């Protein structure tokens, strides 16, 4: 929900909705709908994807909007959790490295300990 509030604030500032008369509706906890805005340019889209890479959007024709279109923005929680999965993977790799370092014999002596069932 915090990401949606940040997106709402960002769009309000960038599209100057107070001056242009555009309206943002919250459909649910993950979706915003922009209506009655005079334009949504490709530079707006590029900036949006740069600042909010986890947000997707689609432009849809709408007779109910004064501009003739609406923009539907969807915040995907998956983008927020990607760094957590990467951190877990990194910790697992470090743990595997430590286990391997402790089980491989030091100095190359083959008589010390087996490494995954094979003598080294």
* 49 is a domain residue: yes
**For the stretch 48-78, what's the b/e string if a residue is b when 16 or more beta carbons lie within 10 angstroms of its beta carbon?**
beeebebbebeeeebeebebebbbbbbbeee
* 61 is a domain residue: yes
* 9 is a domain residue: yes
Burial environment of residue 8 by CB neighbours within 10 A (0 to 12, 13 to 18, 19 or more): middle
- Does the model's pTM come out above 0.85? no
* 109 is a domain residue: no
* 66 is a domain residue: yes
> For 28-82, how does the pLDDT look when each residue is reduced to its tens digit (9 = 90+)?
888 999 999 888 888 999 999 999 888 999 999 988 888 899 999 998 765 556 6
* 33 is a domain residue: yes
| Domain region containing 53 | 2-76
> For 21-39, how does the pLDDT look when each residue is reduced to its tens digit (9 = 90+)?
888 988 888 899 999 988 8
Domain count, the chain: 1
* 29 is a domain residue: yes
């Amino acid at each position: 929900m915090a990401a949606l509030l940040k997106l709402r604030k960002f769009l309000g500032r960038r599209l100057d909705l107070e001056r242009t008369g555009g309206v943002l509706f919250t459909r649910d906890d993950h979706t915003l709908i922009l209506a009655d805005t005079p334009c949504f340019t490709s530079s707006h889209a590029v900036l949006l994807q740069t600042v909010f890479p986890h947000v997707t959007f689609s432009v849809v024709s709408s007779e109910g909007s004064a501009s003739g279109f609406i923009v539907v923005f969807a915040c995907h929680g998956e983008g927020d959790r990607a760094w957590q999965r990467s951190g877990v993977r990194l910790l697992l790799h470090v743990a595997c490295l430590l286990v391997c370092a402790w089980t491989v014999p030091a100095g190359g002596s083959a008589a010390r300990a087996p490494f995954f069932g094979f003598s080294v």
